[in-house]
Amino acid sequence: MAKQKRIVLRNCGVIDPESLDDYLDAGGYKALEKVLGDMPPQQVIDEVTKSGLRGRGGAGFPTGVKWNLARKSPGSQKYVICNADEGDPGAFMDRSVLESDPHSVIEGMVIAGYAIGATEGFIYVRAEYPMAVKRLELALAQAKEKGFIGDNMLNYNFDFDISIRQGAGAFVCGEETALMMSIEGKRGMPRVRPPFPAQSGLWGRPTNINNVETFANVPWIIMNGANAYNIYGTEKSKGTKVFALAGKAARTGLVEVPMGIPIKEIVLEIGGGTSTGLAFKAVQMGGPSGGVIPASLADTPVDYESITQTGAIMGSGGLIVMDESSCMVDIAKFFLNFTQDESCGKCTFCRLGTLRMMEILERIAGGKGKEEDLALLEELARDVKRASLCGLGQTAPNPVLTTLKYFRNEYEAHIYEKKCQAKKCQALITYEIISDKCPGCGLCAKYCPADAISGKKKEPYSINTEKCIRCGLCMSTCRLGAITVH
């Protein structure tokens, strides 16, 4: 806890998320009152700009600048959208904020609406978060009842209403232009920018879209001042960031740290190293758009620029810790499989390029890799990046490129030696019972889902490698360590 600075998570785990009174007791909606009573819209924008807050959804665009662009765009009807789609596998920062402190997001949205001159807001939340939807609906009803949203709120001449739109399982709808299409009732497919949403967004009107975490920062910044926020962080990356520690971390969960903290402090000190006790090998940051950063670069400070320089991206905050039992080819395959599945299909290079890349990776993991595969993989990766319209295609090759950059030897071992050092890729490993250690208890045979183990009681059992599906259940079942994997 000592290394953390909980700004976004200030109320999470402290207040009852279903109680407006709790939120008010914790200082809730005071920022909104201050803004409505005391701060003209431009001043609000200037304060947010001065704080240095950058979009926490992953792209890191300066929030105040974005708000200013929306404010300056001509038009009487403008919108505020909260992107609560959180599609990255392993990320749950936004989910926790929505479930634990929904009013902070609502308050941030209303303040944004006031600043840019919008009267309507939408929270686009993924349907896979039913509890978040439930708590948001409750919070909105409570806020409306007490006049924190709605017409003539708090008796100031300002109207703002918020409604919820649920996603329907499409990762691409986390991309802002596809998200807006989805709200408009169309198939979620991205479009070219410019024009940017701040100029022409939802139904062609100026729209400000921000991530959940970005909005949750706003009330705190307004109450405590921009300078209280920008003392944290680095020169270009101010404030704090919430990370979801997952994977093989010993202490998985949510942490909020000042920007600039070295990766190793998050992983080894706050995260407690690996849960398995095996050596820390790498972290995966930024979800399917991100990349792996090897343990050798664990001194890298966590800020937008430094992380981008490694080849990965900061992303929305998913931080997956990997140890020696993680296979880098397998990781690349996992993420590429995801993005390939989620590609909307509009751009040929994304639609087909990622598919061809997947085929190559599956060949490599299956022990059928060829010499020319790596060069082809890299060429495809570069082309997909260049020829894709939206962030999904532009970043889908990142996991492949970063694993190739830092762990090329693993790919080569898979291709030339048909070996998976991490013992993960099923086609390249075999499980074997060590006869000296096996007392013939038959437990493994009982649990084997493929009926691949046989033997006589009190005599060493053996595994039929033809039937074996490499699930590893036998090894984890055996209490005597008599099963090993090559």
Q: Which residues bind other proteins (CB under 8 A)?
A: 4, 6, 9, 11-18, 92, 95-96, 99-101, 129, 131, 249-256
- 425 vs 441: CA distance, rounded Å: 28
- 421 vs 363: CA distance, rounded Å: 17
Q: Closest approach of Cβ 252 to other proteins, in Å? A: 5
Nearer residue to other proteins within complex by CB, 12 or 384: 12
Nearer residue to other proteins within complex by CB, 131 or 434: 131
In contact, 357 and 400? CB cutoff 8 Å: yes
CA dihedral 225, 228, 231, 236 (to 10 degrees): -30
Q: Closest approach of Cβ 125 to other proteins, in Å? A: 13
Token readout for 396 is 């889908």
Nearer residue to other proteins within complex by CB, 13 or 345: 13
Nearer residue to other proteins within complex by CB, 128 or 378: 128
Nearer residue to other proteins within complex by CB, 2 or 192: 2
Q: Closest approach of Cβ 140 to other proteins, in Å? A: 17
Residue keyed to tokens 């208890």: 441
| Helix (H/G/I), strand (E/B), else coil: 223 | helix
Q: Closest approach of Cβ 217 to other proteins, in Å? A: 17
Q: Closest approach of Cβ 159 to other proteins, in Å? A: 30
Nearer residue to other proteins within complex by CB, 134 or 405: 134
Q: Of 219, 197, 135, 130, which Cα lies nearest the Cα of 167? A: 130
Nearer residue to other proteins within complex by CB, 250 or 443: 250
Q: Closest approach of Cβ 205 to other proteins, in Å? A: 34
Cβ within 8 Å of residue 71, ≥6 positions away: 41, 42, 45, 115, 116, 117
Nearer residue to other proteins within complex by CB, 73 or 96: 96
- 444 vs 455: CA distance, rounded Å: 11
Q: Of 132, 99, 129, which Cα lies nearest the Cα of 16? A: 99
Q: Closest approach of Cβ 256 to other proteins, in Å? A: 8
- Dihedral (CA of 71, 72, 73, 76) sign: positive
In contact, 143 and 104? CB cutoff 8 Å: no
Q: Closest approach of Cβ 325 to other proteins, in Å? A: 19
How far is the CA of 469 from the CAs of 101, 161, 361, in angstroms? 45, 55, 20
In contact, 233 and 28? CB cutoff 8 Å: no
Cβ within 8 Å of residue 238, ≥6 positions away: 51, 52, 53, 54, 229, 230, 232, 259
- 238 vs 326: CA distance, rounded Å: 33
Q: Closest approach of Cβ 319 to other proteins, in Å? A: 13
- 288 vs 306: CA distance, rounded Å: 19
Token readout for 446 is 């009982």
Nearer residue to other proteins within complex by CB, 134 or 363: 134
